[in-house]
Structure 1
């Protein structure tokens, strides 16, 4: 196991990681620019995506003939993201 995986849920302490996962869960596969537009324009977003990829939660797939990159949840990432969305909904209820 690598150090990112060993952190478990504490790996999500870095800002925007949960928001990125929830965005992908709700909206599905998207281009990196959509993360910038809808989650954060933080210049460290590529580092955050690399972290999620190292945790086995997303893949970053280059689009042939373009500089764009698709961000896709892995099977593990879908499970984690769905739990985060459910947790968010639970916390928002009275």
Structure 2
């Protein structure tokens, strides 16, 4: 019966570290041809037109930079992080 408590104790110590392990976030940087001033940091977005793994990922905007051009156009650059 003692071997069960030793095994349970070892299993508990092994699983203890797993609770604190987190997966590193994936980052994605995009430059949009047309400005999207409605996109701001902390906005949750989805992307399309990439590999299935990227399209399926949930993303949050970390940084949004909006530029106005002298010709009247605008461009938006985004830094995204996976959730």
Fold shared by both chains (TM-score > 0.5): no
Structure of higher CA gyration radius: 2
| TM-score under structure 1 length normalisation | 0.28
* Larger fraction in helix: 1
| TM-score under structure 2 length normalisation | 0.31
